[in-house]
Amino acid sequence: MKQKLFYAILIASFAVSAIAHYSGMSSTLQFFLCCIAVIFAAGFMGKATESVAHYAGQRVGGFLNATFGNAAELIIAIFLVKDGLHDMVKASITGSIIGNMLLVLGLSVLFGGLKYKVQNFNVKLAGYNASLMLLSVVALFIPALFAKSFTTKETDTLSLVVAVILILAYVLWLLFSMITHKEELSDTASVHVEDANAHEMNWSKGKSILFLLLATVMVAFISEWLVGTLEEFTHKFGLSELFVGAFLIAIIGNAAEHSAAIFLAMKNKIGAAVEIAIGSSLQIALFVAPVLVLVSYFMGNTMNIVFTTYELAAIGVSAVIAKSISQDGSTSWYEGVLLLVVYVILGIAFFLV
């Protein structure tokens, strides 16, 4: 009954969003309708990804979960790049990174900790994640540091080179964590494949792949409609591109991951929840952001990888607090509170900018 209700809302929200877009309703109404639709479409994508992961096996399944978990954000960002809204793209990247490290991880640790006094996960993986988070901060900090001394062409060249290096680093991380050292990281190397196996797989392999493709197409359409409303929506409510990109778009795009991580933490699978939160942040920084730089280059309008001081500070602060809390391989509910406090403070600061 619950599944039927979910599918009914999914189809209805997509149809209503399409009608609102093509009939020329107000941008504000379109924005809210698209937000609702993309949340359910992202949830549908998450379920389809879990089902495909069940048939693909643990390693490939883990990669699929991580990749399609960020698919909604990537698709939205590509349409923003297409429209030349580079500042909002960078803000959404910032929001995705800090949202996963602070909001998703914070809620997971809080709700998991309220049910279980102390939760433990792989210490070695926590150490590698901490190092990769610092790499992300360094990789984003250096272009901003040298940008003032470079011409626009030199800045674009540096951005493209850094993008390629980060993608290579991410590919090597996948090789390291999924092949050469998979035994050391075996209990948390997959994102939430364990949870997928715990559910009854009602879809066949073919149907799972078909639904995953269908969900991706739905997210693509809704994302394009959503992006088309942003400019008028931000002006109408006096919101900055920084706040809209870093908080509204990031929260909407991460909706499926938020619920999945919290659900796993409450089942005492904090390792999988941490991997969703930290792993997604790392994928955004090391893969999604560089891919967007390359996509913008091929579209003829290169987006540099130079972030503002506010964005760099937010990412840096998030990485430090997340590293501090996760490096010992155990969590308690109060550590979740600490992460959420930092997120709220950043949110207020971004809103007032």
Residue 257 is encoded by which pair of tokens? Answer: 């991951």
Q: Which H, E and C letters describe 275-336, residue by residue?
A: HHHHHHHHHHHHHHHHHHHHHHHHCCCCCCCCCCHHHHHHHHHHHHHHHHHHCCCEECHHHH
Residues 6+ apart with CB under 8 A from 17: 30, 33, 34, 36, 37, 222, 225
pLDDT tens track for 113-135: 998 888 888 778 778 888 888 88
pLDDT of residue 201: 54
pLDDT tens track for 42-74: 778 777 777 776 776 545 555 665 666 677 677
pLDDT tens track for 317-353: 988 888 888 777 888 899 999 999 999 999 898 888 7
Return the closest-CA partner of residue 274 out of 95, 113, 47, 135: 113
Which residue would you say has higher pLDDT here, 100 or 272? 100
pLDDT of residue 254: 67
Q: Give the phi and the psi of residue 59 in degrees, each rounded to 5.
A: -70, -55
Residue 93 is encoded by which pair of tokens? Answer: 């990247």
Identify the burial level of 1 via C-beta atoms within 10 angstroms of its C-beta, where 0-12 means exposed, 13-18 middle and 19 or more buried: exposed
Percent of the chain with pLDDT over 90: 14
pLDDT tens track for 214-244: 888 888 788 778 877 877 888 888 887 778 7
Which residues make beta-bridge pairs with 330?
Answer: 120
Q: Which residue has the tokens 């951005």?
A: 159
pTM for the model stands at: 0.77
Q: How far apart are CA 252 and CA 77, in angstroms?
A: 12
Which residues make beta-bridge pairs with 119?
Answer: 331
Q: Residue 211's pLDDT band (boundaries 50, 70, 90)? A: confident
Reported residue count of the chain is 353
Q: How far apart are CA 221 and CA 271, in angstroms?
A: 34
